[in-house]
Amino acid sequence: MPQLALVRHGQSEWNLQNRFTGWVDVDLTENGIAQAQKSGELLKAEGFEPELAFVSVLKRAIKTLNLTLEGLDRLWIPVDKSWRLNERHYGGLSGLNKDETREKHGDEQVLIWRRSFDTPPPPLAEDHEFHPRQDKRYADIDPSLLPATESLKTTLDRVEPYWRSDILPQLEAGKTLIIAAHGNSLRALVKLLFQVGDEDIMGVEIPTGNPLLIDLDDSGTRPVAARYLDTDRAQPLPAIPGTSQA
């Protein structure tokens, strides 16, 4: 029976500063490092042994994955890095303080930008320092694919092809996997796995540095059990389709 662990990166510097981060490549805080180390300890206690790892191209996720794998003594496993697992791009909100943004634009508008399924924040200009076209790590990607802003819907549209082409076939082959990514890219994966509706998915919270361990059926496509390993910081999970929870 394959297993899948989803790990949101540990607390980042801009998480601590209450700033919109998105694709901006900020580092982990000391607390974030500790969360990532604990992630490895928790997964090791479960006997979790991933055979492949997937991660975004942002260092807060990469460092979280490395620290988690170090705790598992599995630094040697293959790792696939993809921009498609990046956080949602927050467009013109990138780098702004969330409280100051609410004061400027009003609580209702900011809530729409943050929590609606298909309404993105204002886009960045192509010459803005936070636009991915200005970042050399995306130099080999078709510029038309690089977002200037994203909603959760367009984040899902970016994540889903990679899920179906690269990740899901490994699960169907019976492999145990770990994915280290971000609140919204992991929310997109949870939506796909648990068949969560468009409105309901925005209420799903993914805590930093707290592994979500999912047991899958023999096909590797359907969850049969799921739990956060750090119970003190766990968040409610969607119902598992086809079970008594649904």
Predicted confidence band of residue 246 (pLDDT cuts 50, 70, 90): very low
Examine residue 45 and state whether it is found in any structural domain, yes or no: yes
Q: How many domains are contained in the chain?
A: 1
Neighbouring C-alpha atoms within 13 Å toward the C-beta of 100: 9
Whichever domain contains 81, its CATH number is: 3.40.50.1240
Predicted confidence band of residue 42 (pLDDT cuts 50, 70, 90): very high
Domain interval for residue 14: 3-88+151-233
pTM value is 0.96
> What is the rounded average pLDDT of the residues 50-56?
98
Please determine, for residue 245, whether its predicted confidence score (pLDDT) is greater than 80. no
Going from the C-alpha of 160 to that of each of 45, 113, 246, the distances in angstroms are 31, 21, 23
Q: What are phi and psi of 59, to 5 degrees?
A: -65, -25
Going from the C-alpha of 13 to that of each of 19, 189, 212, the distances in angstroms are 9, 24, 22
Read off the pLDDT of residues 231-240 as tens digits, 9 standing for 90 and up.
Answer: 999 999 999 9
Q: Which of 58-62, 105-109, 166-170 has the lowest mean pLDDT?
A: 105-109
Examine residue 122 and state whether it is found in any structural domain, yes or no: no
Examine residue 114 and state whether it is found in any structural domain, yes or no: no
Tokens of 199: 């409105």
Active-site positions? 9, 87
Q: How far apart are CA 20 and CA 16, in angstroms?
A: 11
